[in-house]
């Protein structure tokens, strides 16, 4: 893989890198992305029809079972070379902040130390009525589980359509954009707001924006560098090209 020598210089000189990631980064671990066809039993559902508070109110059993199915899938997967390359960049650059839309926890598993989860975490649970957090090991056997305090329905700790992003995560992401030298945009269709606005904001703050995706997205026109390919292939090759003396 050939890279622009200017891009390699920019990476070598960077002191703080932001990596904004989406479902494409976890695709090579075996987690289906949202807007590719889902497989098996769930092929007839779209994320937009299940990941909403209205869907949970209308049909909590189906929504909970969808998340239970995804948790089973995610339990079995491991970080891939894309996650690992992002984590490895910390040792080369000094500071890498991951701003992820993913709820699977794979960036933390890969060893990234600074991870902002914009859309929550699928392993967290909280009561829809009293907001108490309940560890997975203490969930009741009901579908969906019920709150040990108020008997309300337990939901996954993720951000559904129509819900605000966690304030602290959003504020931290905005702060990172003010200080990072480089902003990677990796494996996201850039369709879901407000997260999809971050690359444009990063560019307007004067950051170098680098897009990695096998497909064209609306962020191609914002990015100064577009690297067409899979995250798990492009990122390790990019690291090797920028820091040939390492690994």
- CB neighbour list of residue 15: distance below 8 Å, 6 or more residues apart: 93, 94, 95, 181
Closest approach of Cβ 15 to ligand BJW, in Å?
26
Q: Is 119 a catalytic residue?
A: yes
CB of 51 to ligand BJW, least distance (A): 4
CB nearer to ligand BJW: pick between 95 and 172: 172
Assess 24 for contact with ligand BJW (CB under 6 A).
Answer: yes
Q: Is 72 in the site for ligand BJW (CB under 6 A)?
A: no
Among 147, 154, 231, 235, binds Zn ion (CB under 5 A): 147
Quick one: 9 or 136, whose CB is closer to ligand BJW? 136
Q: Is 45 in the site for ligand BJW (CB under 6 A)?
A: no
Does residue 210 interact with ligand BJW by CB under 6 A?
no
Which span (65-73, 142-150, 164-172, 226-234) binds Zn ion, by CB under 5 A? 142-150
User: Applying CB under 5 A, which residues contact Zn ion?
Assistant: 127, 129-130, 132, 147, 149-150, 152
Active-site annotation, residues? 119
User: Applying CB under 6 A, which residues contact ligand BJW?
Assistant: 22-24, 27-28, 33-35, 47, 51, 101, 103, 119, 158-159, 161-164, 187-189, 191-194, 212-215, 217, 230-232
């Amino acid at each position: 893989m050939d890279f622009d020598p200017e891009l390699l210089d920019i990476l070598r000189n960077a002191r703080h890198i932001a990596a904004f990631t989406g479902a494409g980064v976890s695709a090579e671990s075996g987690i289906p992305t949202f807007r590719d066809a889902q497989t098996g039993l769930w092929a007839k559902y779209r994320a937009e029809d299940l990941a909403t508070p209205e869907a949970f109110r209308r049909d909590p059993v189906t929504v909970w079972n969808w998340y239970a199915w995804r948790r089973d899938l995610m339990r079995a997967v491991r970080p891939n070379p894309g996650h690992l390359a992002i984590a490895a960049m910390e040792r080369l650059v000094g500071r890498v902040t991951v701003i992820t839309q993913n709820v699977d926890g794979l960036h933390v598993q890969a060893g990234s130390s600074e991870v902002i989860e914009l859309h929550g975490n699928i392993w967290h649970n909280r009561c829809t009525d009293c907001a108490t957090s309940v560890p997975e090991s203490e969930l009741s056997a009901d579908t969906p589980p019920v709150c040990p305090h108020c008997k309300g329905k337990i939901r996954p700790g993720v951000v559904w359509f129509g819900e605000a992003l966690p304030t602290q995560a959003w504020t931290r992401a905005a702060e990172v954009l003010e200080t990072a030298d480089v902003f990677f945009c990796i494996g996201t269709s850039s369709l879901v707001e407000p997260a999809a606005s971050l690359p444009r904001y990063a560019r307007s703050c004067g950051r170098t924006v680098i897009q990695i995706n096998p497909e064209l997205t609306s962020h191609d026109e914002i990015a100064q560098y577009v690297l067409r390919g899979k995250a798990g292939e492009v990122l390790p090759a990019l690291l090797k090209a920028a820091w040939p003396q390492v690994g």
